Amino acid sequence: MTAEGGDVLVIGFGNPGRIDDGLGPAVIEALEEVAIEGVDLDADYQLIVDDAADVSAHKVVVFVDADVTGPEPFYFRPVEPKHELGFSSHGCDPGQVMALAQELFQAKTKGYILGIRGYEFNEFREALSDKARANLAAATEFIVKVLRGRDFEAAAARMVAAETQSHGE
Amino acid sequence: MVEATENLKRIVIEPVTRVEGHGKVSILLDQDNNVKQARLHIVEFRGFERFVQGRPFWEAPVLVQRLCGICPVSHHLAAVKAMDRIVGGENLTPTAEKLRRLMHYGQTLQSHALHFFHLVSPDLLFGFDADVAIRNVIGVAAKFPDLAVQGVMLRKYGQEIIKATAGKKIHGTGAIPGGMNKNLSIAERDELLKDIDQMMTWSRSALKIAKDYTLEHFEDIKGFGSFDSSHLSIRRDDGAMDLYDGKLCAIDSTGETIFDGVDNQLYNDYIAEEVRNWSYMKFPFIKSIGPEAGWYRVGPLARVNTAKFIDTPEAEAARKEFMAITDNKPNNVTMAYHWARMIELLHSTEKIQMLLHDPDLQGTDLVVKGERRSEAVGIIEAPRGTLFHHYKVNEDDQVTMCNLIVSTTSNNEPMNRAVRGVAQEYLSGKPEITEGLLNHVEVAIRAYDPCLSCATHAMGKMPLTVELYDADGNLLDSKAK
């Protein structure tokens, strides 16, 4: 995808044919309905190296993916560039895309990950599980507010603090 | 995962890095660290054929993209070629065929660019056993930033072509049974034309890197995971390389014809698949030779070997150079896949350039229909090799049977042979099996650019562990990447 001119890019990734792996693209479909000004949207089966070029053309990028083991219903955290080894095209994760954007395009883009808890991944079925659908609704409502308010950093800080408190309890 | 036998120990590499999907290599050593057995196991996701059954046939070209996040366009086009025949629309209009070809060359360009620049170049630039901390694409980006940028932008350009012809990445619907659902607008064409000269320059440069590497290291790499083999592809009636359409042909390791001019619909008469109890992935073979010796290679190396010529000038000149090093006989050097792949990359860019100047792409005659059929086969040369889609459709328009032979399946036996050869040459008798030595095995696998079709990638599911067990099954060492 090329930059459409917005300052924020949201990339949802995953395979809608693998049940809850389709959570990322499902968020993008929902955001297309909302059409928030200045927000560019992209959906793909997986993150890939050339996403680094699109990331570098935006001030903020939000990666949206299904998470196998994360907290319910979702989390929202900053993503730091990850320069470490283990890079493989299919395993290209948000931190690695951020690192490539920085290395190749001198990007100063801020990155965040919206990880939505999924439950079923190991069959071919083009429908989210009931629990994942509920998580999708909550995550979409959250990210719409964040995108409209452009308060990414504060939202991530609040959520990380809440997670920390929850772990403490 | 670990199998201990008396006086033997097994090393498992799981999953193999920098290949698409999930793979596992197991290497069995005896007490003197000699390789007794080495196998590549494909963790193939099964059940897709069932997923398609019962669905309307016109949905298949969209559904099959769910098979793989790396080559959805190849599945899209192979399926739609079969569905063309189902609706009697296999004789496409010039506009529809050229649009599909443009889509396909875009897919080949982006796939080959990704593989060469980001998966293979770390091995070639830093060495097979270089420090793993730098032997990766981030290391390439740091030391060779121009090269890494070229790889990204070539791939991105291919993706832009796909977007213009197929539509959304997740729900590509450009090709429909009997044709295409839209043409290429003048605005889209002009946008793509702006960068084509740059893409040509970078494609030439990529080819030069691959060629120079192969020639400079030829003595070292000619035996690396190499062996004589048959080669299979589709090609045009006049013998030209044709990545989109053609008839099946196969040659043996010396270039003698095994079969030629075979109608795609008859592939079942020429190719069969064998099941082995240790692998989920089948082993295809040429029926007339039999399962023992009938295996063959597909992909760039096979296509350059089977082609009598390439119908774009720069790629044809490159093909001649390539074939000259083996006296115009088939090249059976596994590492020559990279050079062949870059010849195809340049060929794809040349084709894209030609097509973008063809006014047929702005035509409006997009779909044809004819006599309905109930069974059809679609074959395409996907970036990784010949891809077969076979369907049966009932009177209610539902798919009742689906059989796929993906490129990586055809290369199953060759990859296993490459793994065995490299393991025996580089690992046997070594007192310590280092990561660098194990990477030699992965280098041999990566030459084939296997796509293991496991697109479930959700976070937390991609660990890489290498475990070394002694003859009694005790864990001696474990490494995680």
Domain boundaries, chain B: 8-46+414-447+464-480, 68-165+186-409
CB pairs under 8 A between A and B: 157
A119: Cβ contacts below 8 Å, ≥ 6 apart: A20, A129, A131, A132
| Lowest mean pLDDT segment, chosen from A149-153, B16-20, B380-384 | B16-20
B166: Cβ contacts below 8 Å, ≥ 6 apart: B73, B76, B103, B172, B173, B174, B175
| Lowest mean pLDDT segment, chosen from A25-29, A153-157, B16-20, B94-98 | B16-20
The string of DSSP codes covering B402-418 is EEEE-HHHHTHHHHHHH
Residue A45's pLDDT band (boundaries 50, 70, 90)? confident
User: Per the CB < 8 Å rule, is A126 touching B66?
Assistant: yes
User: Per the CB < 8 Å rule, is B458 touching A53?
Assistant: no
Residue B46 has pLDDT above 70, yes or no: no
Is any Cβ of chain B less than 8 angstroms from the Cβ of A44? Answer: yes
Residue B460's pLDDT band (boundaries 50, 70, 90)? very low
Q: Contact at 8 Å (CB) between B185 and B95?
A: no
Quick one: which of A127, A46, A66, A117 has its CA closest to B51?
A: A127
Per-residue model confidence (pLDDT) at position A89: 47
Per-residue model confidence (pLDDT) at position B292: 92
User: Per the CB < 8 Å rule, is A46 touching B457?
Assistant: yes
Per-residue model confidence (pLDDT) at position B20: 45
Q: Are strands B296-297 and B399-405 parallel, antiparallel or unpaired?
A: unpaired
Q: Contact at 8 Å (CB) between B429 and B32?
A: yes
Q: What stretch of H or E contains B180?
A: strand B179-180
Question: How large is the average pLDDT for residues B317-336?
Answer: 97
Q: Name every chain B residue with its beta carbon within 8 A of the beta carbon of A21.
A: 455-458
Q: Which residue of A has its CA nearest to B462?
A: A91
Nearest-by-Cβ selection for A103 from B119, B142, B457: B142
Q: Name every chain B residue with its beta carbon within 8 A of the beta carbon of A104.
A: 141, 145, 148-149, 152
- The sheet with strand B375-382 has its strands ordered as B375-382, B385-393, B399-405
User: Per the CB < 8 Å rule, is B455 touching A45?
Assistant: yes
Question: How large is the average pLDDT for residues B246-263?
Answer: 98
Residue B354 has pLDDT above 90, yes or no: yes
CA distance A28 to A121: 19
Q: Name every chain A residue with its beta carbon within 8 A of the beta carbon of B456.
A: 15, 18, 21, 121-122
What is the average pLDDT value for chain A, to the nearest integer?
89
Q: Name every chain B residue with its beta carbon within 8 A of the beta carbon of A105.
A: 149
Top mean-pLDDT range of A62-71, B182-191, B456-465: B182-191
Is any Cβ of chain A less than 8 angstroms from the Cβ of B143? Answer: no
* Residue predicted with more confidence, B405 or B191: B191
Residue A134 has pLDDT above 60, yes or no: yes
* Residue predicted with more confidence, A76 or B34: A76
Is any Cβ of chain B less than 8 angstroms from the Cβ of A106? Answer: no
User: pTM score, two decimals?
Assistant: 0.90
Å between B454 CA and nearest CA of chain A: 9
User: Per the CB < 8 Å rule, is B159 touching A83?
Assistant: no
Q: Which residue of A has its CA nearest to B170?
A: A44
Nearest-by-Cβ selection for A104 from B152, B458, B461: B152
Q: What is the pLDDT of residues B112-155, one digit of tens each?
A: 998 898 889 999 999 988 888 788 888 888 889 899 999 999 99
Q: Which residue of B has its CA nearest to A16?
A: B66
Residue A3 has pLDDT above 50, yes or no: no
Residue B13's pLDDT band (boundaries 50, 70, 90)? low
Residue B21 has pLDDT above 60, yes or no: no
Per-residue model confidence (pLDDT) at position B14: 56
Residue B286 has pLDDT above 70, yes or no: yes
Q: Which residue of A has its CA nearest to B17?
A: A88
Residue B54 has pLDDT above 90, yes or no: yes
Per-residue model confidence (pLDDT) at position B136: 82
Q: Name every chain A residue with its beta carbon within 8 A of the beta carbon of B461.
A: 68, 121
Residue B35 has pLDDT above 90, yes or no: no
Neighbours of B295 (CB within 10 A): 23
Per-residue model confidence (pLDDT) at position B454: 38
Token pair, residue B188, equals 């889209």
Q: Contact at 8 Å (CB) between B454 and A124?
A: no
For residue A48, what are the CA distances in angstroms to A52, B109, B172, B375, B396?
8, 15, 18, 36, 40
Contacts with A, B 40-69, CB within 8 Å:
45, 47-48, 50-51, 63, 66-69
Residue A87's pLDDT band (boundaries 50, 70, 90)? very low
Residue B34's pLDDT band (boundaries 50, 70, 90)? confident
With tokens 């063809």, the residue in question is B358
Rg of chain B over Cα atoms, rounded to whole angstroms, equals: 22
The proportion of chain A whose per-residue pLDDT surpasses 70, expressed as a percent, equals: 91
Residue A140 has pLDDT above 70, yes or no: yes
Per-residue model confidence (pLDDT) at position B384: 93
Query: Per the CATH hierarchy, to which homologous superfamily does domain B68-165+186-409 belong?
Result: Cytochrome-c3 Hydrogenase, chain B (1.10.645.10)
Per-residue model confidence (pLDDT) at position A167: 67
Q: Name every chain B residue with its beta carbon within 8 A of the beta carbon of A46.
A: 69-70, 455, 457
Q: What is the pLDDT of residues B396-451, one digit of tens each?
A: 999 999 998 888 889 989 999 998 999 889 888 887 778 788 888 889 988 998 87
Q: Name every chain A residue with its beta carbon within 8 A of the beta carbon of B141.
A: 99-100, 103-104
Per-residue model confidence (pLDDT) at position B363: 98
Is any Cβ of chain B less than 8 angstroms from the Cβ of A122? Answer: yes
CA-CA-CA-CA torsion sign (B216, B221, B227, B231): negative
Please compute, for residue B201, the number of CA atoms within 13 A of its CA located in the half-sphere on the CB side. 7
Q: What is the pLDDT of residues B87-107, one digit of tens each?
A: 999 999 999 999 999 999 999
Query: Which structural domains are found in chain A, ordered by start?
Result: 8-168 (3.40.50.1450)
For residue B371, what are the CA distances in angstroms to B90, B267, B368, B374?
10, 22, 11, 10
Q: What is the pLDDT of residues B212-254, one digit of tens each?
A: 999 999 999 999 999 999 999 999 999 999 999 999 999 999 9
What single DSSP character describes residue B237? Answer: T
ipTM given for this complex: 0.83
Q: Which residue of B has its CA nearest to A52?
A: B152
Neighbours of B377 (CB within 10 A): 19
Per-residue model confidence (pLDDT) at position B462: 32
* Residue predicted with more confidence, B289 or B5: B289
